[in-house]
Structure 1
């Protein structure tokens, strides 16, 4: 009997793109019997609806099996690798180089469902108790790097750290970058100098000059990315105990967004 269809399920075309990227089973062990497409469907259902793992519908594989794959892929950096691979495919489909010439940085402070140990703080500017998601995106708003920290962490320090991490992990992505777009929270000669020393790129601060809200050129790129993330209920707050699991959830959500773009 065929199971119920969920809007988050992968289509045949999407699975055709994703399946070659799924880590293979270990050699020499018991043959893999788990349906990996159903594992991915369950993970994307969880991210979209925000339900607890043990409240996944019963027609998915056991929740413990789904979570174990999700966690194992986080430990091995699979979600981040999938994000980079699919990001390159989306850019290529649009006729753009996989190496961006412009990037944007911004942070999003989100509440947690409870106090989360040491990685927890109060963002006095945004009046939020919880954590901060520091993101780097390309000119299309596609994710390059995310770092989750306590909400009171300085934005410029986090952005420099995220850039340094990306430079160490995937230096080829930053070879052609000429400019980084930021808001006034990243203003300052020291930050601009640190970016220049790392990737020889100019920091362009997009300042708000009017009191009323208006869409600012270039700055909206990363704000739109936050809008995409907010459509997934698991990211409405930071529900994760570990910040690295929060980062994995963001990378996983971006893979789902990009898969849909690739088959349109």
Structure 2
């Protein structure tokens, strides 16, 4: 099996100095930021310099390290629960979160429902609530529009998936497109007619619970990063930590 972390630069035949800091310490520093919600420059002195930790985080995001680690943990948990490693169904939903002033205006949008300028996370999870894929957009992007990218990425990563559950935000042409282009059947779980206030809906509650898990990691409660792939990396790293706690 391919190791989850990229090889040090000095071991690839291109020269360079050996890594100065233990990778375990760097990993703990990144998870410290995600869990505590602090700025990079507020890392305690027990960790490597903030610029070093941030640089490692960026390299791992671009190399797909977080996704690789998370996928390994998710597969292990699925097998332990008696399920096949490859899922056949998924639940999709979105969550809008506030955006700090460090997020460029081009990546934020007006959410009419929340009546605020935010960013939106679109995720797909398996029936256990374990993350399969995530896409971050401006909050002005409708769920049904972002779902094209979300479902295309999901199908590319998991060819075994055939069934998708979603709430009332995914109606219309998306259903026909998913069936004809991706061979995915999308079932809409609607609110109970006449019901008022909050009520638990079948299947949909699983993905809502996943959002509740992630919101315990304070760096994920608000969007801070300037690059769109960085918040996705932090989201996946939070799920990685959650998966580790389930072991």
* TM-score (norm. length: structure 1): 0.86
Cross-structure match for 1:21: 4
3-state SS of the aligned residue for 1:80?
helix
Cross-structure match for 1:3: none
Structure 1: stretches of 5+ with no match in the other structure:
1-19
Q: Where in structure 2 are the equivalents of 1:28-177 lying within 5 Å?
A: 28=13, 29=15, 30-114=17-101, 116-168=104-156, 170=157, 173-175=158-160, 177=161
Of residues 176, 185, 193 in structure 1, which corresponds to 2:169? 185
Structure 2: stretches of 5+ with no match in the other structure:
none
CA contact (8 A) 2:152 2:182 kept: no
Aligned residues: 239
CA contact (8 A) 2:4 2:65 kept: no
Find runs of 4+ consecutive structure 1 residues off by over 4 angstroms.
Answer: none
After TM superposition, give the deviation of residue 100 of structure 1 in Å: 1.1
3-state SS of the aligned residue for 1:95?
coil
After TM superposition, give the deviation of residue 194 of structure 1 in Å: 1.5
Cross-structure match for 2:225: 240
* TM-score (norm. length: structure 2): 0.92
3-state SS of the aligned residue for 1:132?
strand
After TM superposition, give the deviation of residue 88 of structure 1 in Å: 1.0
After TM superposition, give the deviation of residue 197 of structure 1 in Å: 2.3
CA contact (8 A) 1:164 1:198 kept: no
Alignment RMSD, CA only?
Answer: 1.6
After TM superposition, give the deviation of residue 245 of structure 1 in Å: 0.8
Describe the superposition over 1:49-89 as per-residue Cα deviations: whole angstroms up to 9, x where unpaired. Answer: 11111110100111111111001111122212222222111
1:228 aligns with 2:213: yes
Describe the superposition over 1:11-66 as per-residue Cα deviations: whole angstroms up to 9, x where unpaired. Answer: xxxxxxxxx52222132432333211100100100000111111101001111111
User: 2 CA distance for matches of 1:72 and 1:231?
Assistant: 25
